[in-house]
Amino acid sequence: MSEQTESLDRVMLIAAHPDDPEFGCGGTIAKWAAAGKEITYVLLTSGDKGSRDPNIRPGQLATRREAEQRAAAAVLGVKEVLFLRYPDGLLENTLTLRHQLAAIIRRHKPHILMAIDPWRHYQLHPDHRAAGQAALDALWSAREWHIFAEQLDGDEEPWRVKEAYLFWTDQPDYYEDISETIDKRIEALACHVSQVGTDREKLAERIKERSRKTGEEAGCEYAEAFKRFKF
């Protein structure tokens, strides 16, 4: 099938914390979902340390943040949200995680993988580095015949993801015009009350300013930026 006629309609987004997908590329998710793409989120942690309140217990916070993430995903039209529940702030790109993600990729067979750019200079958050690296290592493993071969039963073939889009990149080479879906992005972000508070206007201002700057690079009103790979 030629590149023009092949439809890349299954998308998997792998990220470290609830709210990463919406801060990273919520406008693109909304646009792609509306265009009929089937989108699955894989959240590696449930963000159980994401609070400055010393009295809140990590378990309570994880439950709350998973609910916030499900609500945000529903606003954007995401089909499914998976939580792997690794500990927030302590995520490592281990072989166990790579094995687990490769199995998920082989089971869901996404055409497009979205992930955090692990090579962004001065990416301070260890979970963001680990999540990006783990996602891409799993993408590579999933397409190899002899890596985690026990995951392939019968005549099942390894799965080759066709494209990867890395967000939070400092080397963008692809822009998605999100002028039509900027409001959806803000509405989805507003679901993450434990992280963004309840001042919707302030949130909208911040997101619009950021998306407008990216839009200037892209030549449209609002945009999101990616480093794109085609395989």
Residue whose C-beta lies closest to Zn ion: 17
Listing from the earlier edge strand, what are the strands of the sheet with 112-116?
Answer: 80-86, 38-45, 10-15, 112-116, 163-167, 223-230, 174-177
Cβ density class 14-25: b for 16+ within 10 Å, e for less: bbbbbbbbbbbb
Which residue's CB is nearer to Zn ion, number 29 or number 218? 29
Which residue's CB is nearer to Zn ion, number 105 or number 131? 131
Stretch that binds Zn ion, among 3-11, 14-22, 95-103, 140-148 (CB under 5 A): 14-22
Largest CA distance in the chain: 56
What gap in Å lies between CA 16 and CA 69, rounded to an integer? 12
Nearest CA among 14, 10, 12, 47 for reference residue 134: 14
Stretch that binds Zn ion, among 12-20, 83-91, 101-109, 141-149 (CB under 5 A): 12-20
Residue 194 C-beta: closest distance to Zn ion, Å: 13
Stretch that binds Zn ion, among 16-24, 37-45, 73-81, 199-207 (CB under 5 A): 16-24
Residue 69 C-beta: closest distance to Zn ion, Å: 11
Helix (H) or strand (E) segment spanning residue 185: helix 182-189
Which residue's CB is nearer to Zn ion, number 17 or number 185? 17
Which residue's CB is nearer to Zn ion, number 20 or number 177? 20
Spell out the residues 6+ positions from residue 80 whose beta carbon is closer than 8 angstroms to its own: 40, 41
Cβ(231)–Cβ(175) below 8 Å: no
Residue 127 C-beta: closest distance to Zn ion, Å: 6
Which residue's CB is nearer to Zn ion, number 10 or number 65? 65
Stretch that binds Zn ion, among 9-17, 30-38, 159-167, 191-199 (CB under 5 A): 9-17
Distances (CA, A) of 122 to 49, 168, 169, 227: 22, 11, 11, 17
What gap in Å lies between CA 36 and CA 78, rounded to an integer? 10
Give, as ranges, the residues between 18 and 37 that touch Zn ion (CB under 5 A): 20
Distances (CA, A) of 60 to 49, 65, 81, 136, 192: 10, 9, 19, 31, 15
Residue 92 C-beta: closest distance to Zn ion, Å: 15
Asked if 17 is part of the footprint of Zn ion (rule: CB under 5 A), the reply reads yes
Asked if 227 is part of the footprint of Zn ion (rule: CB under 5 A), the reply reads no
Which residue's CB is nearer to Zn ion, number 47 or number 158? 47
Q: And the tokens for 150?
A: 């026990």
Residue count, binding to Zn ion (CB under 5 A): 3
Which residue's CB is nearer to Zn ion, number 10 or number 128? 128
Interface residues toward Zn ion, by CB under 5 A: 16-17, 20
